[in-house]
Amino acid sequence: MENLGYLLAAYTIIWVIVFGYVFFMQRKQRRLQQQIDALRKSLDE
């Protein structure tokens, strides 16, 4: 089990970056949806 730390580090970093990117996209989508709703509302008024 020599070098197990390197293996775990590699796989952990891969998932942290992939999930980080997904999280970033989700936040951006929520923010954009809020902006669209606010803009639609102001255009209707």
Partner 1 sequence: MKGKHILRDNVLLGLSLALMIAALYMVFVYVPTEKHTGIVQRIFYFHVPVAWVAFLAFFITFIFSILYLWKREIKWDTIAHASAEVGVIFTTLVLITGPIWAKPVWGVWWTWDARLTTSLVLWLIYIAYLLVRSFATEPARGARFSAVIGIVGFIDVPIVFLTVNLWRTQHPTTMIFEDGLTTSMLMTLMVCIAAFTVLYVLLTVQSANLKSLETDVKLLRSTQAE
The tokens describing 18, both together, are 């992939």
The single residue among 11, 19, 23, 44 that binds partner 1, judged by CB under 8 A, is: 11
Under rule CB under 8 A, residue 23 binds partner 1: no
Under rule CB under 8 A, residue 42 binds partner 1: yes
The single residue among 18, 19, 23, 44 that binds partner 1, judged by CB under 8 A, is: 18
Dihedral angle sign, alpha carbons of residues 8, 9, 10, 16: positive
Under rule CB under 8 A, residue 44 binds partner 1: no
The tokens describing 16, both together, are 């942290």
